[in-house]
Amino acid sequence: MQNAPLLVVLAIAILLVTPRDAQAYLDPNTGSMMLQMAAAGLLGAVVTLRLYWQKVKDFFTGNKGAAGSDDKS
């Protein structure tokens, strides 16, 4: 049974790619709500990155970052 994990992965892949009926109704406001959620998530990520930009930059450049290196430029 060395092929058991491969068979499980193959079975799951087949189940995920086969089409099924949705049995659901999406009204016109659903698209607008999903667009608003995506925009809010993107803007939240931008604001968070902006607030912690110096720490993120120091992390990727390998700098320790001095305590007084909070320049707001």
Residue 32 amino acid letter: S
Percent of the chain with pLDDT over 70: 86
- Between the alpha carbon of residue 65 and those of residues 9, 41, 54, 62, 69, the distances in Å are 46, 29, 8, 9, 6
pTM score, two decimals? 0.47
Q: Is the pLDDT of residue 56 over 90?
A: no
Q: Where are the domains of the chain?
A: 30-64
Q: At 61, list the tokens.
A: 């450049």
pLDDT tens across 32-55, in order? Answer: 999 999 999 999 999 998 999 888
Q: Tell me the pLDDT band of 31, cut-offs 50, 70 and 90.
A: confident
